[in-house]
Amino acid sequence: MADINADQMNEEINEEEMGHMSLFAHLNELRVRLTWAVGALVICTIIGFAVAEPLLEYLMIPYVVSVPDGQAALQTLRPTEGIETYFKVALLFGAILSMPIMLYQLWLFISPGLTKRERRYVYIFIPSALALFLIGILFAWFILVPAAVNFLANFMQGVFRTEWTGQDYISFVVRMLFWLGVSFEMPIIMYFLARLGIVTAAVLRENWRYAVVGVAVLAAIITPSIDPVTMMLTMAPLLVLYVMSIFLAKIGQKQFERSMALDSDLESGISA
């Protein structure tokens, strides 16, 4: 038993020594990870050029369905607006496709500061973050976007005629899809922050009023439309995700406290 404890203490000491990196080493590691992340985004965006046209037609479905005659077309008011919209769709595809690689690079950057036991959480972090990102995109596409586009396209038809430009419509849809997907990663982010001892479940629970205001502001940013239906459709899942974050933060906090207790026992053993 003494040999096992000694081995554990030596392993923790070695990991602690490896975790200490100079500022320049951290900056170099950050440069490497950003290079890989940007490279993955560029390559996936290039792939996105091949599917940009059918993807653009697919993104127009909520608009086509919402227009009364069903013959909607996106206008271009500037010579370069069409190609800018085409590039934006390709970039959206590239960002979604490269998300697993970018999450993996993020993990590689923070993992040197973690113990061997904590590094195993990569098998939870990357799949969970990716799954929540995709769920957020699906929620936005099948529920939020159709409701918002239908309301805006049919608002005061006797006064306004719906003829949106490609730049405005695609920017509107892409912003909703991407940022709602990112917002859905809140629970897993809060869990790891609590696991690292940065936040606690009690802090999240006590500041729920500020969280509601923050969610309202975030919903207003994601959905620039002013109708209350779209705002509520956006706020409802974000508030549910915040409650989930509290429960996951509680789990992460308990794991952090157990880890700190183990480290304290190991230090006591070394002192003895």
Residue 189 CB partners (closer than 8 Å, separation 6+): 129, 245
Say how far apart CA 259 and CA 254 lie, in whole Å. Answer: 9
Say how far apart CA 165 and CA 163 lie, in whole Å. Answer: 7
**CB of 194 closer than 8 Å to CB of 250:** yes
- Using one digit for the tens of pLDDT, what is the confidence trace for 43-61? 999 999 988 889 888 888 8
Say how far apart CA 115 and CA 72 lie, in whole Å. Answer: 56
Say how far apart CA 135 and CA 130 lie, in whole Å. Answer: 9
Say how far apart CA 144 and CA 231 lie, in whole Å. Answer: 9
**CB of 162 closer than 8 Å to CB of 74:** no
In the chain, which ranges are continuous DSSP H helix? 2-19, 23-59, 61-66, 81-110, 116-119, 122-139, 145-153, 166-183, 186-195, 201-206, 208-222, 228-271
The one-digit pLDDT tens for each residue of the chain (272 residues) are 444 444 444 544 444 444 455 667 777 878 888 899 999 999 999 999 988 889 888 888 888 888 766 567 777 778 888 888 888 889 888 988 888 888 788 877 777 766 676 677 667 777 888 888 889 889 889 988 888 888 888 777 777 777 788 888 888 888 888 888 888 888 888 888 887 778 888 888 888 888 888 888 888 877 766 667 777 878 888 888 899 889 888 888 887 777 777 666 566 666 65
pTM above 0.85, yes or no: no
Say how far apart CA 70 and CA 153 lie, in whole Å. Answer: 12
Predicted local confidence at residue 108, as pLDDT? 79
Residue 138 CB partners (closer than 8 Å, separation 6+): none
Predicted local confidence at residue 16, as pLDDT? 47
Q: Which residues of 131-160 are buried (b: 16+ CB within 10 A; e: fewer)?
A: ebbeebbebbbeebbbbbbbbbbeeeeeee
